[in-house]
Amino acid sequence: MNSLQNIVSHFQLKGTALSPEPLGAGLINDSYLVRTAENDCPDYVLQRINHAIFQDVDLLQHNIRCVTEHIRHKLEAAQTPDIDRRVLSFIPAEDNKDYWFDGSHYWRMMRYINDSYTHQAVTPTSSRNAGLAFGHFQAQLADLPQQLGETIPNFHNMEFRLQQLDEAVAADPVGRVAGVQDLLEAIETRRTKMCQAEQLHREGKLPKRICHCDTKVNNMLFDKDDNILCVIDLDTVMPSFVFSDFGDFLRTGANPVPEDEPNLELIDFDLEIFKAFTEGYLQSARSFLTPLEIELLPYAAMLFPYMQFVRFLTDWINGDTYYKIQYPQHNLVRSRAQHQLLLRVEAQEATMREYILSQTC
Ligand code: GN1
Ligand code: MG
């Protein structure tokens, strides 16, 4: 028995597990497909959890269990067909724990959803589907009774991200601050506006809800007829402002070029993508969003380029300690690209507002 098969043997799966094969190309966790010999037994996915990023594995798996069980109960109550393909199901380890620790790594197992596909391309159709799927996911969890924790503390907290930048600027460990004064000024002038979510939350006007916090187009599964099955990659599901799921999708989805595009002229904010995503999102999330949350959706579209700009610039000033870089100036190029995207989104603020009004009247 090889070591992966040995790991599989610690989970309570049905059937005879065959040798695990590498699955997908995730950047965070390592995944393996575990087929079973019997036709009437499901296949499984074995994952090694990235413990360096997700330091509290108990909390991580607690969140995921609460979320998937809640969604499953709702699907059962609605007598939805084919439930095992519409929500992820995790398989307990030998002691009924949510994961198995082999002495140095943490492992988990879930059911493999057969005949499912992901999309990589952002089109108006896939954006509308993404809006529908992520809005529906938030709606399904709007009445979750349990408290969830933050699997990455302060992940989308703008005040915290600015504090990290301030500390980097004060320390200036590699002497890069003098060269980025224009960028620091651009951050400074928007500081109060961009921290308004935290401020409104303190005033009791803005709730935190359970959000996905990694709303990429390839984090949705579709069946062969292109119907949405479910949302996947639940590691960052945590309490946040709804802006996380709205703003971060548009940050990558509505920009036609990669987030580190060096040619600033190519960076844009595609209004057709914005409209399609917003239409889908409002359709499935309108039932629980407050008027203030809806009013602040254009702010969400600006917040995420701004937050990513702050995070990349912080890493540049710190000497490239967090994000992997492909060339020496990479984090500076990324910072300038996100700044440019922010300018492009800001230029569309009035148009975004009008469109949202037209969808909600
Ligand atoms: C990181 O690894 P990836 O690409 O899924 C980061 C996100 C950033 C993104 C920017 C845990 O995500 O928050 O938006 O880079 N994830 C973490 O490329 O920090
Ligand atoms: Mg990710």
Number of H helices, E strands in the chain: 13, 9
Verify whether ligand 1 is closer than 6 Å to residue 157 (CB atom): no
In the chain, the percentage of residues whose pLDDT exceeds 70 is 99
Please report which confidence band the pLDDT of residue 24 belongs to, taking 50, 70 and 90 as the band edges. confident
Q: CA 194, CA 357: separation in Å to the nearest integer? A: 22
Verify whether ligand 1 is closer than 6 Å to residue 27 (CB atom): yes
Please report which confidence band the pLDDT of residue 120 belongs to, taking 50, 70 and 90 as the band edges. confident
Q: Is 248 exposed, middle or buried (0-12, 13-18, 19+ CB in 10 A)?
A: buried
Verify whether ligand 1 is closer than 6 Å to residue 331 (CB atom): no
- Domains in the chain (CATH in brackets) are 2-111 (3.30.200.20), 124-360 (3.90.1200.10)
Length of the chain: 361
Verify whether ligand 1 is closer than 6 Å to residue 322 (CB atom): no
Residue entry with tokens 């990659």: 233
Question: pLDDT (tens digit, 9 = 90+) per residue, 187-201?
Answer: 999 999 999 999 999
Calculate the alpha carbon distances from 33 to 89, 111, 156, 247, 253 in Å. Answer: 15, 10, 32, 32, 29
Distance (angstroms) between ligand 2 centre and the Cα of 128 equals 21
Q: Which of 54, 155, 214, 307 to mutate to test the pocket of ligand 1 (most atoms within 8 A of CB)?
A: 214
- Name the closest ligand to CA 331: 1
Arithmetic mean of pLDDT, 114-141: 93
Verify whether ligand 1 is closer than 6 Å to residue 174 (CB atom): no
Tokens of 146: 């349990």
Verify whether ligand 1 is closer than 6 Å to residue 284 (CB atom): no
Question: Which atom of ligand 1 is found nearest the CA of 28?
Answer: 2
Question: pLDDT (tens digit, 9 = 90+) per residue, 252-275?
Answer: 999 999 999 999 999 999 999 999
- What pTM was computed for the model? 0.92
Angle 234-224-279 (CA atoms, 0-180°, nearest 5)?
60
pLDDT for res 86: 96
pLDDT for res 27: 66
Question: pLDDT (tens digit, 9 = 90+) per residue, 47-56?
Answer: 999 999 999 9
Please report which confidence band the pLDDT of residue 26 belongs to, taking 50, 70 and 90 as the band edges. low
